[in-house]
Structure 1
Amino acid sequence: MSVISGSPQQLRRANLGAVLDVAWGAGPFTATDAIGATGLTRTTVLGLCDDLVGLGWLRELGPERLPGDRAKGRPARRYAFDPRAGHVVGVDAGQHRVTASVADLAGAVLARETRVLGAGGEDRAARVGGVRGAVDDALHGAGTHAGSVLVTVVGVPAPTDVLGRPPASEDGFWARMNPDLVAALARPGQHVVVDNDANLAAIAEGAVGAGVGARSFVTLLSGERFGAGLMVDGVLLRGRHGGAGEMHVLDLVDGVGSASGLAATVRQWLAEDAGLARLRRRLPAEPEFADVAAAALAGDRDAQGVVDRLGDRLARVCAVLGGLLDVERVIVGGAVATSVGPVLERTTASLAAYMHLPVPEVVASALGADGVHLGAVRRALALVREDPLALTLPAVPASDGAEPEPSRADAVARADRRAAGAAATAPA
């Protein structure tokens, strides 16, 4: 028979966590439901539920007589997890634009705002200001404030270590993309994480996107630069410095030559290839990837030639990833995903010629440009669930003319005193 040891406070905390885990996402529940899931006694469960109500994690609902209850007697007390007890923020801090989302603790996105950085995307002050501004705008749109945020996760186009710092690079690009955003966004009582954008996109794809059902897949962000989030056997690969999935190795790959993504490559070819002069005249003044893809679908032969070249180049990239990792699927993400279909047709047709292993399926992400900030929200929620009782929920404001609500810290102290008192009066 195993014996659980620890102080009364530690045991109480563990039991609070067990009941809260039952409540999270379960809908309305009764003490009987929690007893069945935890094995704790009714008296203990009711006390824990009262504490979790005081801490702000649960709401007590109106009593309801359940089927089979006797007509007389007290109806069952009911509780529910309160998803608006706090909020999380997910940010996609791309090279040229920032998108911030605010979500409740059930993962429902309440507001989303974007700020364009443009040419100032590599300036530290402009970048930090853009991230802060997008977050503030999203909080305002959600009808809340910074004090309600428990965890903020920011995705950047750079590798990051466990402390959210970029490794050194010769051109300093990674540091410009991540100018110590952990410190810049730090607020009292709030946890800030900075992570690689492709890693966060892979988290989103695995949860709600094209990676659902696949244990090994690559999410390939493909706009300005290629960057890959690598999910292998259900594990997100990060590497010693957070550099797993960095694609500068493509400099060495014949027929690819750089880590430039599809959008950047199209702009470069249109600007430098004299053979595309006719196509340039038929496109908008500042053509983008989507313009070329649309022209190819409309039957423009020059645009179809560009699409063929892009498809072959992408096939070589997918062959490198598929050959190294033996994945089931390569998910092409980022803003180009909505118009990448013609390119993927050529990629799929070419891929077998470059691989010995069975070829991975190559698909477009349905999340598109939303993948990174949605993945950031997912990771923020996971961090809250890892140790929710280590976080302090925002205080409940008092209604007009009423006594102030007790602070969350007071509620924690009451729970600890109750646990200590119970231990002191328990029979030896």
Structure 2
Amino acid sequence: MEQSLGAVSTQLLRRINAGRVVQFAWDTGAFTASDAIVASGLTRSTVLRVCDELIVKGWIHELSDTREAGAYSKGRPARRYAFRSSAAHVVAVDAGQHHVSAWVTDLQGSVLASSPEPITPRSDSALDRRRAVERAVNLAVDGAGASERSVLAAVIGVPAPTDENGVSPRGDDGFWARMNPGFAQLFGQRGWSVVVENDANLAAIAEGAIGAGVGVSSFVNLLSGARFGAGVMANGALVRGARGGVGELHLLDLVDGVGSADGLGRLAVAWTDAARVKGTIPITSPLAAGQVEALDVFAAARAGDATAVGIVDRLAARLARVCAVLGGLLDTERIIIGGAIAPAADLLIERAEPILAAFMHGQVPTLVASPLGARAVGLGAIHRGLELIRSDPLRFSLNT
């Protein structure tokens, strides 16, 4: 028994040591054994042995020595190593309600290929959605010159709550189940580690890593395009809830002056169409004819179009009420206005802030526009996939 425990302890120690060197290699450029010794605190013999093992496993490769590189001229040349960022791949997917986008990255997060795939209302069934996501993923993997075997992890963002197994409830009308028709099982069959996560949560992860949430311990990322959805960070950690439902904002149905979880982008277009039907838009307005997008409404408001200004004012009042609910419930420092309307969010924020201040008691959360916009979900999926691998890289086998 003692020999068995000793063997287990030795294997565990070797794994821990290898993990420390992998993490160091991941975060640095070319390095020598001496560099790794300083960073890890391990002995030279241990570092050299670990590096040899990691070369065999495919995590690092050996470079030309320092003498050949011109940085060393006397004595025994130092061995130089580097992390193999091309050794494997990560798949990231934003499986939105109206579109799908897939990306393939290397282990440093560099995007190697991407593939968009539209989802039309007439073909928006669970089966069609599975096929659209599969097509986007397959095209991105092929475009990256990768293979199914080289993908270690896939992270898929969906407009639905998900539990720890990546499963969504049906919801009142089956919407959530249609948005997430078994993606965890579908891609898990390929041998990948799969995470299916709410899209607003992934956007919040991206904002906290590289966006408007950097350095802020508690914030809400509010996706505001087709629908409202919130990713909540509290004291530096993502808050998901028992079944992943934190941030689902159907409670807005009950909020006076809001009445639904319809997002500002959707409402901007709907209210413009309603004004056109009623004939209240002057023929000189840029909104008078033709289909408009949400950002067209904001552009017209900036140009002084009266109809557009009125719509933006209505949207700002709605946003202020939504933010008052989130700020009051969560005591958050900052609310990040994200999604496809983020490029125009400053116009909403300057109108919403005084209304929000009148609603709030005590500290008022700061409103800021997302610098990531519509890219946030995909960037969050990439970040989440890399973190999944980095948390325990040696449990993955590379195809060397």
TM-score (norm: length of structure 1): 0.87
Secondary structure in 1 matching 2:42: coil
Q: Residue 349 of structure 2 corresponds to which residue in structure 1?
A: 344
Secondary structure in 1 matching 2:191: coil
Q: Residue 162 of structure 2 corresponds to which residue in structure 1?
A: 160
Q: CA deviation at 1:126?
A: 1.3
Deviations 1:31-54 (A, max 9, x none): 112222223221221111011011
1:121–1:45 Cα change, 3 Å: farther
- For the pair 1:304 / 2:297, whether they are aligned, the reply is no
Q: CA deviation at 1:373?
A: 0.8
CA distance, structure 2, for counterparts of residue 269 and residue 280 of structure 1: 15
State whether residues 323 and 357 of structure 1, in contact with CA within 8 Å, keep that contact through their aligned partners in structure 2: no
State whether residues 120 and 126 of structure 1, in contact with CA within 8 Å, keep that contact through their aligned partners in structure 2: no
* Stretch of structure 1 that moved more, 117-126 or 236-245: 117-126
- For the pair 1:195 / 2:197, whether they are aligned, the reply is yes
Q: 1:233 aligns with which of 235, 238, 241?
A: 235
Matches within 5 A, 1:9-158: 9-65=11-67, 71-120=73-122, 122-158=124-160
- For the pair 1:313 / 2:318, whether they are aligned, the reply is yes
State whether residues 270 and 276 of structure 1, in contact with CA within 8 Å, keep that contact through their aligned partners in structure 2: no
* Stretch of structure 1 that moved more, 103-112 or 89-98: 103-112
CA distance, structure 1, for counterparts of residue 276 and residue 140 of structure 2: 45
Deviations 1:286-321 (A, max 9, x none): 222112111111111111011101000000001111
CA distance, structure 2, for counterparts of residue 154 and residue 87 of structure 1: 15
CA distance, structure 2, for counterparts of residue 71 and residue 289 of structure 1: 64
User: Which ranges in structure 2 are unaligned for 5 or more consecutive residues?
Assistant: 1-5
Q: CA deviation at 1:240?
A: 0.4
Secondary structure in 1 matching 2:165: coil
Deviations 1:362-390 (A, max 9, x none): 12111111100110000000000011111
State whether residues 337 and 369 of structure 2, in contact with CA within 8 Å, keep that contact through their aligned partners in structure 1: yes
Q: CA deviation at 1:189?
A: 3.2
Letter in 1 for 2:206: A
CA distance, structure 2, for counterparts of residue 330 and residue 48 of structure 1: 45
CA distance, structure 2, for counterparts of residue 37 and residue 308 of structure 1: 55
CA distance, structure 2, for counterparts of residue 174 and residue 121 of structure 1: 16
Deviations 1:179-214 (A, max 9, x none): 011112224431111000000000001111111121
Q: CA deviation at 1:90?
A: 0.9
Secondary structure in 1 matching 2:64: strand
CA root-mean-square deviation: 2.1
Q: Residue 175 of structure 2 corresponds to which residue in structure 1?
A: 173
1:79–1:170 Cα change, 3 Å: same
- For the pair 1:329 / 2:331, whether they are aligned, the reply is no
Secondary structure in 2 matching 1:377: helix
* Stretch of structure 1 that moved more, 302-311 or 262-271: 262-271
Letter in 2 for 1:245: G
1:268–1:70 Cα change, 3 Å: closer
State whether residues 55 and 393 of structure 1, in contact with CA within 8 Å, keep that contact through their aligned partners in structure 2: yes
Deviations 1:345-366 (A, max 9, x none): 2112311011012211212111
CA distance, structure 1, for counterparts of residue 219 and residue 368 of structure 2: 11
Letter in 2 for 1:27: G
State whether residues 114 and 143 of structure 2, in contact with CA within 8 Å, keep that contact through their aligned partners in structure 1: yes
State whether residues 270 and 277 of structure 1, in contact with CA within 8 Å, keep that contact through their aligned partners in structure 2: no
* Stretch of structure 1 that moved more, 57-66 or 249-258: 57-66
CA distance, structure 2, for counterparts of residue 254 and residue 361 of structure 1: 22
State whether residues 250 and 259 of structure 1, in contact with CA within 8 Å, keep that contact through their aligned partners in structure 2: yes
Q: Residue 3 of structure 2 corresponds to which residue in structure 1?
A: none
User: Number of paired residues?
Assistant: 392
Matches within 5 A, 1:207-286: 207-272=209-274, 277-279=279-281, 282=285, 283=287, 284-286=289-291
State whether residues 65 and 79 of structure 2, in contact with CA within 8 Å, keep that contact through their aligned partners in structure 1: yes
Q: CA deviation at 1:232?
A: 1.1
State whether residues 323 and 335 of structure 2, in contact with CA within 8 Å, keep that contact through their aligned partners in structure 1: yes
Letter in 1 for 2:105: A
State whether residues 279 and 303 of structure 1, in contact with CA within 8 Å, keep that contact through their aligned partners in structure 2: no
Q: 2:295 aligns with which of 287, 290, 295?
A: 290
* Stretch of structure 1 that moved more, 320-329 or 183-192: 183-192
Deviations 1:110-164 (A, max 9, x none): 2222111121563112111111111122222222222211100000000000000
TM-score (norm: length of structure 2): 0.93
